[in-house]
Amino acid sequence: MYQSHLPVTTLREEPADAEVPSHALMARAGFLQKLVSGVYVYGPMLWRVIRRIETIVREEHDRAGCVEMLMPALQPMELWVESGRWDRYVQDGILFHFRDRKGSEMCLGPTHEEVVTDYARRMIQSWRQLPVTVYQIQTKFRDEIRPRFGLMRGREFLMKDAYSFDADEEGMRESYSRMREVYKNVFHRCGLRFTIVHADSGSIGGSTSEEFMVDAVTGEDAIAVCEETGYSANVETARFRIPNPPPEVEERPMRREATPGAKSCEQLRELFPEVPLEQMVKTVLYHVTWPDREGLVAVLIRGDREVNEVKLANHLLALKVELADEDEIRRVTGAEPGFAGPIGLPEEVRVVADGSVQGVCGFLCGANVTDEHLLDVWFGRDLPEPEIADLGMVQEGDLTPDGKGVIRITRGIEVGHVFQLGTKYSDAMNAVYTSRNGHQRPLWMGCYGIGVSRIAAAAIEQNHDEHGMIWPLPIAPYAVHVVELKSGGKDPAEDLLASRIHDELEARGVDVLWDDRGNVSPGVKFKDADLIGIPLRIVVGRDAHEGKVEWSLRTDPRDKETIPWEEAVERAVAACREAGRLGAPRTPVPV
């Protein structure tokens, strides 16, 4: 490939709206161009990266016996009503939907459980057809609340989604673990460092789910990990043990104290230095939306802990939980926000307690009166024992659920998510098969997603320096960058050698980008090469007349060797063979 054929202008300055390295570098290098918020043009170089990723994804899925197909992005409302997800997706605003000319409601697919279940219920009739796993690589549409970080969270993005169908639960588990291995292979082959974590299954549904997180400080997700025990989970779902138990105290009668202006636990610590945070109980009021109604829920949690809203929503079987607004708080507590407590709340407010309050005795809490708190409050004496559930957010330093290790919080980019769906969709949409003994049985499903375009961004987040991107060889846009310093007829020896290397590499199945641009100074060529980050570099320069070139790796720019051009070609071929990206030999067509 001749670099002079690329319609690309590189930028010296970062675009103003780029917040993370992957976005800034891709924009500067012309990989990417924003059309509107969360929607991007993929330039020629980025498209090559994506095709590399797709190739790896396809090879690994096909190897595991999955079958590729393609489903429509345009979908009818009826299927979504049938599965029961239309209202939730519309209410969350995540769905792009509209009416067609006949007035039928349609949407652009944010995911494909409905379509694939509809496909399966018609195609799969017999146990003899099971198990089967289908997949597709396709554009998805989600009207994200906040598109961000370039390719990391777009409103239109490329996703590989796969769906497994089994005769029973055990089969589903087997399919799931097979896909889990496929995912590990895919991400390893893409050259990514990642962590597999327990996850919440969210709006997709189902029981077990795990996420594949690329380790990166700019990741949007926080994850709880423990090196000693191997425990790892998204903080949304992480279970843990609290390391610091509440103090034991002797029983005293409940009393009421004036606490003017003290709305936070920190302020109360100053008023009552003898009461540690572990002996305070916070009452957090939530406005909860269920499928059929809305209401308020009070969550009791220890003073040093935070509520995990994902766990809360799951526990309450709610569509949505959000902090109650100030007027709601005043209405049910009769007090200003900051003084809510568990005693004396109206009947309509359901009270649930996080496990962290278990064993907390003689505690401090709000009095439901402005500027007053209660002290020496006992469960079972001053108020009923509450309904206990795991509603707490994990914190750095907590213990793993088995108590054997310490949890650390790190960050990751979610590039894959695997779910055991069970029969959620097959029940809702009546997708059944005839079993060996003639019964109608629901299909057991799993679903599996990979953010194909997001992988490209994640790879840069994980691999870049101050000069530019550093692509892992398996997914780099080109394997080799031939940087010719004086091109365009100014030095016939260089032109001849560079074109010879270019042709030879292509003939050997190595994809190569040749910087043949004339009238571009060497400094610019080096800067552009660093920015684009092609992993193997052959510089054709001052030693060209002796048939020698400079060989270097983008990962280690200082380590340069001057070697005969034939050896550089051999090294490139060997590296590509090892990385599994040797392609079909190409014979250049005269241009």
Partner RNA sequence: CGGGGAGUACCUCAGUCUGGUAGAGGGGCGCCUUUGGGAGGCGCAGGUCGCAGGUUCGAAUCCUGUCUCCCCGACCA
CA–CA gap between residue 444 and residue 457 (Å, rounded)? 34
Token reading at 583:
């392609």
DSSP H or E run through 364: strand 363-369
Spatial contact of 477 and 48, defined as CB atoms under 8 Å apart: yes
Q: Please give the full DSSP string across 424-480, using - where no structure is assigned.
A: HHHHHTT-EEE-TTS-EEEPEEEEEEEEHHHHHHHHHHHSEETTEE---GGG-S-SE
CA distances from 475 to 44, 54, 434, 456, 457 (A): 14, 9, 44, 8, 12
**Ramachandran quadrant class, 586 (left: phi over 0; alpha: psi -120 to 50; beta: rest):** beta
Whole-number minimum distance, CB 509 to RNA, in Å? 26
Q: For residues 539 and 575, which CB has a smaller minimum distance to RNA in the complex? A: 539
Q: Which residue has the tokens 């799993």?
A: 446
Given a contact cutoff of 8 angstroms between Cβ atoms, the answer to whether 110 and 95 are in contact is: yes
Residue in this structure with the two tokens 């500067």, named with its chain if needed: 28
Record the tokens describing residue 353, joined without a space: 């307690």
DSSP 8-state secondary structure symbol assigned to residue 145: S
CB of 551 to RNA, least distance (A): 10
Smallest distance from the beta carbon of 213 to RNA, in angstroms? 9
Taking CA 316 as the corner, what is the angle to CA 314 and CA 320, rounded to the nearest 5 degrees?
A: 70
Bridge partners, 139 (sequence order): 158
Least distance CB 227 / RNA (angstroms):
23
What's the CA gap between 459 and 470, in Å, rounded?
9
Angle at which helix 44-63 crosses helix 452-462, to 10 degrees, equals 110
Structure tokens at 346: 């109206």
Our CB check for RNA shows the closer of 276 and 547 to be 547
**440-442/432-434 β-pairing:** antiparallel
Locate the DSSP E strands across 59-217: 67-68, 74-76, 96-99, 105-108, 132-141, 156-166, 194-198, 209-215
Least distance to RNA from the beta carbon of 190, Å?
12
Find the length of the chain: 591
Radius of gyration of the chain, Cα coordinates, nearest whole angstrom: 30
- Residues 398/392, Cβ–Cβ less than 8 Å: no
Cα atoms in the Cβ-side hemisphere of radius 13 Å centred on 311: 22
The residue behind tokens 């051999």 is: 570
Residue 69, SS3? Answer: coil
Three-state SS at 583: coil
User: Closest CB to RNA among 96 and 526?
Assistant: 526
Residue whose structure tokens are 């040093």? 304
In the complex with RNA, the residue whose CB is nearer, 209 or 259, is 209
The token duo for 284 is 């957090």
At residue 22, what is the residue type? S
Report the distance separating Cα 458 and Cα 477, nearest Å: 15
* Residue type at position 205: G
Q: Which is nearer to RNA, 437 or 519 (CB)?
A: 519
Task: Sort strands 255-258 and 372-377 into parallel, antiparallel or unpaired.
Answer: antiparallel
Measured between alpha carbons, how far is 522 from 502 in angstroms, rounded to an integer?
A: 19
